[in-house]
């Protein structure tokens, strides 16, 4: 840390933090909750950081070409130097701590100067004490100092939710899908839960049913990243799932009065629930990670659905690489984000129909082992000989591999449930 005319300043920490965030944009949401733009003493770094936060919140890609566009020549020169120095984002938390510490010291320095300037005007010790207390509290509040033991309403809700889950079922530690047998076997959703199946086997229907059960029925905040279909189509499927009314009738507007009332009830439940749905025009892994951070920061989400990983686009320099190896790398990025944010993910992956005639297992995912390796739980949908859909868990880290779970799929209203024995 240096002193500029007595003022605490650390230009190195400010510069290195910006470089780290340019190298690892997925750290922006983690850092932005702690670091405000005015923590930066350097005017250029302050403006660049503010722009980084805005772009990350908007889900925009952060690269040298687009980020430097429209900036002054001097600012572009600074940015090009920062991009050249941008090696890794893993150092961002370290430099963020330094920036915050120096900004805090700067506020204390300003407070001391103000006290010196006004000291002669105080008529009593009480007046001096009140001035110190008021201004010190403002500084502490601005930097979130001394608030580690403060419980927010969200904290209390989370604790109550955990207590209730333990009372309902002592063996389940993760988020429940409300699929009784599945929840009992895997002990609730784990950090990465992979659903595999060929196209048309009901992956999206199953994930939407789980999303409804978690976000609407249990009101646990969750995000559905919709990369496969239009927003209207997805919402219609959710309303069919929640109301039990035929999807075709909802799409054509041919519901009876009773059915329309049920759809309205489902619409109100969806609006009042904690299920957030979004997508993005540029389906990249960086945008995916940014959206997860954004919704976690804004809505405290506990679970994210990615529908599906095969829709995430390849960059020009990635087309030569093996697709499934890339998917495994992307899944690791999702896993890292979930680990940092203490949340879970349900990720959908599409398999080829070829050779997919019975219960799925490791033999069906030999070319996508990179995906399965990253998952805590992996399972696949298939049609049994009796024509009934089943869900087969073929990986359950730390738990048993059960028999296939028989399901009932009402395709008309997009509802999936376990068969109750």
Could you give the domains of the chain? 2-142 (1.10.860.10), 157-418 (3.40.50.300)
> Using an 8 Å Cβ cutoff, are 347 and 211 in contact?
no
pLDDT band, residue 274 (cuts 50/70/90): very high
Which element (helix H / strand E) includes 148? none
Residue 64 and residue 62: Cα distance in Å, rounded?
7
Q: Residue 133 has what pLDDT? A: 62
> What distances in angstroms separate CA 120 from CA 112, 116, 117, 127, 271, one per listed residue?
14, 8, 7, 11, 59
Which range, of 47-51, 132-136, 240-244, 415-419, averages the lowest pLDDT?
132-136
Which of the pair, 358 or 228, is modelled with greater confidence? 228
Q: Average pLDDT of the chain?
A: 80
**CA 239/CA 170 separation, integer angstroms:** 32
Residue 113: CB atoms within 10 A of its CB come to: 12
Q: What angle do CA 8, 10, 15 make, to 5 degrees?
A: 150
What's the whole-number mean pLDDT along residues 309-336? 70
pLDDT value for 219:
94
Q: How confident is the model at residue 258 (pLDDT cuts 50, 70, 90)?
A: very high
In angstroms, the CA 256 to CA 261 distance is 8
**Region 257-272: what's the mean pLDDT?**
93
Joined tokens for residue 261: 């009332």
Position 230 scores a pLDDT of 85
| Of 16 and 142, more confident | 16
**In the structure, what pLDDT confidence band is assigned to residue 156 with cuts at 50, 70 and 90?**
very low
Higher pLDDT, residue 229 or 172: 229
Chain position carrying tokens 């350097």: 42
* DSSP codes joined into one string, 161-189: HHHHHHHH-TT--SB--S-HHHHHHHTSB
With a CB cutoff of 8 Å and minimum separation 6, the contacts of 36 are none
| Burial class of 374 by CB neighbour count within 10 A (0 to 12, 13 to 18, 19+) | buried
Per-residue pLDDT, 135: 62
- Of 25, 20, 23, 17, the C-alpha closest to 100 is 17
- Cα 377 to Cα 199: distance, rounded to the nearest angstrom: 20
45 three-state secondary structure:
helix
Confidence at residue 350, expressed as pLDDT on a 0 to 100 scale: 79
Residue 121 CA, chain-centre distance (Å), reads 52
Residue pair 391/379 in contact by the 8 Å Cβ criterion: yes
């Amino acid at each position: 840390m240096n002193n500029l005319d007595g003022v605490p300043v650390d230009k190195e920490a400010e510069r290195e933090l910006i470089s780290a965030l340019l190298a690892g944009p997925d750290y922006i949401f983690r850092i932005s909750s702690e670091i405000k733009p005015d923590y930066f003493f350097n005017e250029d770094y302050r403006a660049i950081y503010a722009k980084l936060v805005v772009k990350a919140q908007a889900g925009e890609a952060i690269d040298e070409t687009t980020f430097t566009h429209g900036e002054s020549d001097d600012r572009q020169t600074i940015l090009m130097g920062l991009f050249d120095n941008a090696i890794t984002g893993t150092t961002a938390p370290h430099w963020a701590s330094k920036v915050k510490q120096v900004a805090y010291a700067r506020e204390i320095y300003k407070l001391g100067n103000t006290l010196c300037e006004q000291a002669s005007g105080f008529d009593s010790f009480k007046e001096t004490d009140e001035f110190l207390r008021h201004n010190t509290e403002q500084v502490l509040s601005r930097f979130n100092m001394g608030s580690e033991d403060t419980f927010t309403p969200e904290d209390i809700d989370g604790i109550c939710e955990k207590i209730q889950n333990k009372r309902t079922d002592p063996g389940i530690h993760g988020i429940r899908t409300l699929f009784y047998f599945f929840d009992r076997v895997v002990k609730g959703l784990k950090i990465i839960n992979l659903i595999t199946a060929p196209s048309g086997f009901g992956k999206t229907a199953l994930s939407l049913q789980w999303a409804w059960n978690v976000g609407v029925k249990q009101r646990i905040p969750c995000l559905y990243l919709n990369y496969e279909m239009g927003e209207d189509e997805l919402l219609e499927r959710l309303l069919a799932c929640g109301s039990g009314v035929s999807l075709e009738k909802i799409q054509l507007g041919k519901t009876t009065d009773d059915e329309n009332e049920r759809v309205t009830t489902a619409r109100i439940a969806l609006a009042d629930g904690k299920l957030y749905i979004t997508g993005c025009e540029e389906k990249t892994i960086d945008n995916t990670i940014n959206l997860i951070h954004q919704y976690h920061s804004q809505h405290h989400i506990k679970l994210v659905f990615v529908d599906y990983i095969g829709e995430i686009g390849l960059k020009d320099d990635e087309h030569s690489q093996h697709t499934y190896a890339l998917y495994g790398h992307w899944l690791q990025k999702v896993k890292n984000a979930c680990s940092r944010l203490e949340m879970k993910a349900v990720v959908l992956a599409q398999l080829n129909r070829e050779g997919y005639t019975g219960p799925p297992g490791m033999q069906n995912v030999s070319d996508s082992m990179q995906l399965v390796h990253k998952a805590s739980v992996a399972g696949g949908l298939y049609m049994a000989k009796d024509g009934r859909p089943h869900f087969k868990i073929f990986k359950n880290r730390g738990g048993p591999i059960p028999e296939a779970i028989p399901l009932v799929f009402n395709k008309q209203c997009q509802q999936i449930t376990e068969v109750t024995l």
